[in-house]
């Protein structure tokens, strides 16, 4: 029986074959891999090994950037100032410590904007605030309607298959259904749904809820940081038109040809990395390459050129 797959690789391959603005430099992939892969693992410091908490985390894990010159949203947690994704994880952990029932579907289904404001309190306001309120309500409502109020039941329905988990989540939770239209073809990207499977695997160290048998079917999670890293290392090359947009901090519209080509090329470039590593008998799943690339993206040198700016709930 053939292993179930996701449509992400096939659909994004079509984009790279017809791309106008983004090119993958295969020689640069080889040069980048010669630097060596530093394997990253799940970091328990700010995370909770609770399936429902992780689901809430990944329902909110998108768009932390501010317009050029604006201060980023950040929070203080245990004496440390955090921004971006780490601020999100810390804010959700802080909320649990303060008794906010973040893993209770009934609470989430009708959560007030005021309650969410308190969860994310800090410097500045978290971007796309109302979208995050909407996502929390969707999580609570759908869990109550379809899964008896718990994400654990979503996992049990998936039967230890990351592919089935992703398919189920994108089918029932619209905020996870990360797709685009490109030359009248549907392109499947599924960033946060795939990340959810990887996060569950990491949180439970590949056991129990995280014992998926098909993690090798996941692609990387195409966001705005990974293309920035790949461009820094010349793996992704932008044409003059796209270079002008990105380097001048101009908006890149959600679903635009430029945005879809950036994300599709990111997925396909890392798939080529994975294949080259596999040829050397050092098989590394794509999601672990994602963690490595994301960690590289925290280096100031990699941030020399900006990332593309797309306001979206999908990443």
- Just list the catalytic residues: 223
Distances (CA, A) of 195 to 10, 156, 187, 267: 19, 18, 18, 13
**Between β-strands 22-24 and 236-238, what pairing exists: parallel, antiparallel or unpaired?**
antiparallel
Tokens 């990944």 locate to 58
Rounded Cα gap, residues 62 and 88, in angstroms: 10
Kindly report the three-state secondary structure assignment for every residue of 241-268. HHHHHHHCCCECCCCCHHHHHHHHHHHH
- SS3 of 59, please? helix
Q: Nearest Cα to 256, choosing from 272, 240, 245, 269?
A: 245
DSSP assignment of 109-152 equals: HT--HHHHHHHT-SBS--TTHHHHHHHHHHHHHHHHHHSTT-HH
**Torsion angles phi and psi, residue 86, rounded to 5:** -65, -35
Exposure letters 278-296 (e unless 16+ CB within 10 A, then b): eeeeeebbbbbbbbbbbeb
């Amino acid at each position: 029986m053939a292993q179930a797959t996701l449509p992400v690789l096939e659909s994004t391959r079509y984009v790279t074959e017809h791309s106008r603005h983004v090119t993958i430099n295969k020689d640069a992939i080889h040069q980048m891999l010669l630097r060596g892969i530093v394997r990253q693992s799940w970091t328990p410091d700010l995370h909770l090994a609770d399936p429902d908490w992780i689901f809430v985390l990944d329902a909110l894990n998108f768009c932390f950037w501010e317009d050029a010159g604006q201060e980023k949203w950040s929070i203080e947690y245990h004496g440390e100032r955090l921004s971006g994704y780490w601020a999100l994880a810390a804010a959700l952990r802080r909320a649990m410590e303060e008794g906010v029932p973040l893993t209770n579907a009934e609470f989430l289904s009708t959560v007030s904007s005021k309650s969410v404001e308190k969860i994310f309190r800090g410097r500045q306001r978290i971007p796309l605030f109302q979208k995050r309120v909407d996502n929390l309500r969707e999580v609570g409502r759908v869990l109550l309607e379809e899964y008896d109020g718990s994400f654990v039941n979503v996992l049990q329905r998936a039967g230890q298959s990351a592919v089935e988990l992703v398919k189920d989540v994108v089918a029932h939770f619209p905020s996870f259904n990360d797709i685009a239209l490109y030359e009248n073809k549907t392109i499947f990207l599924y960033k946060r749904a795939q990340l959810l499977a990887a996060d569950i695997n990491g949180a439970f160290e590949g056991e129990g809820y995280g014992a998926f048998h098909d993690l090798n079917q996941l692609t990387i999670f195409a966001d705005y940081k990974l293309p920035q890293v790949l461009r820094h290392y010349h793996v992704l090359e932008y044409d003059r038109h796209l270079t002008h947009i990105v380097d001048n901090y101009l908006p890149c519209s959600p679903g635009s040809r430029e945005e879809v080509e950036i994300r599709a090329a990111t997925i396909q470039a890392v798939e080529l990395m994975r294949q080259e590593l596999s040829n050397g008998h050092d098989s590394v799943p794509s999601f672990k390459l994602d963690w490595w690339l994301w960690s590289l993206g925290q280096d100031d040198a990699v941030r020399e050129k900006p990332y593309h700016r797309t306001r979206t709930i999908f990443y």
